Structure 1
Amino acid sequence: MRNLWQSLKCIVTALFAGLLLGGAAAAEGRATLDALFAELANPDNPAWARAESDIRREWSRSGSAALDLLLKRGEDALDAGDTQAAIEHLTALTDHGPGFAEGWNARATAYFAAGAYGPALADIAATLSLEPRHWGALAGLGTILEEMGQTDRALEAFRASFALHPHQQDVKDAITRLERAAAGTAL
Structure 2
Amino acid sequence: MRYLDLMKARAALANGFVASLFVLWAAGAQADLKNLPDSQNPAGSAKLDELFQQLQSSDDAAAAAITEDIWREWSKSGSAAMDLLLQRGEAAMAMGDPMTAIDHASALIDHAPDFAEAYNLRATAYFQMGELGLSLGDISRTLALNPRHFGALAGLGAIFEELNEPAKALEVYREALKINPHMPDVAEAIARIDTKIGGQEL
TM-score class normalised by the smaller sequence? 0.7 to 0.9
Partner in structure 1 of residue 117 of structure 2: 102
Overall identity of the aligned pairs, in %: 51
The answer to whether the Cα contact below 8 Å between 2:119 and 2:142 also exists between their aligned partners in 1 is yes
Residue 172 of structure 1 is aligned with which of 157, 163, 187?
187
2:57 is aligned with 1:42:
yes
AA aligned opposite 1:177: R
The answer to whether the Cα contact below 8 Å between 2:60 and 2:182 also exists between their aligned partners in 1 is no
User: Distance between the aligned counterparts of 1:157 and 1:65, measured in 2?
Assistant: 33
Q: CA deviation at 1:31?
A: 1.1
AA aligned opposite 1:65: A
Partner in structure 2 of residue 157 of structure 1: 172
Partner in structure 1 of residue 77 of structure 2: 62
Partner SS for 2:67 = helix
Larger relative contact order (Cα-Cα within 8 Å, sequence gap ≥ 6): 2
User: Distance between the aligned counterparts of 1:68 and 1:58, measured in 2?
Assistant: 11
The answer to whether the Cα contact below 8 Å between 2:92 and 2:101 also exists between their aligned partners in 1 is yes
User: Distance between the aligned counterparts of 1:35 and 1:76, measured in 2?
Assistant: 29
**Superposition pairs for residues 121-132 of structure 1, below 5 Å?**
121-132=136-147
- Once superposed, what is the RMSD of the aligned Cα atoms? 2.1
Partner in structure 1 of residue 48 of structure 2: 33
> Between Structure 1 and Structure 2, how many residues are aligned?
162
Partner in structure 2 of residue 80 of structure 1: 95
Deviations for 1:125-165, whole angstroms, at most 9, x for unmatched residues? Answer: 11111110110000000011101111111111100111111
More helix by share: 1
The answer to whether the Cα contact below 8 Å between 1:145 and 1:151 also exists between their aligned partners in 2 is yes
Q: CA deviation at 1:180?
A: 2.0
Closer/same/farther in 2, CA of residues 154 and 33 from structure 1, 3 Å limit: same
**Superposition pairs for residues 1-12 of structure 1, below 5 Å?**
none
Partner SS for 1:178 = helix
TM-score normalised according to structure 2 size = 0.74
5+ residue gaps, structure 2: 1-37
The answer to whether the Cα contact below 8 Å between 1:39 and 1:45 also exists between their aligned partners in 2 is no
5+ residue gaps, structure 1: 1-22
User: Distance between the aligned counterparts of 1:36 and 1:45, measured in 2?
Assistant: 14
User: Distance between the aligned counterparts of 2:65 and 2:96, measured in 1?
Assistant: 29
The answer to whether the Cα contact below 8 Å between 1:43 and 1:166 also exists between their aligned partners in 2 is no
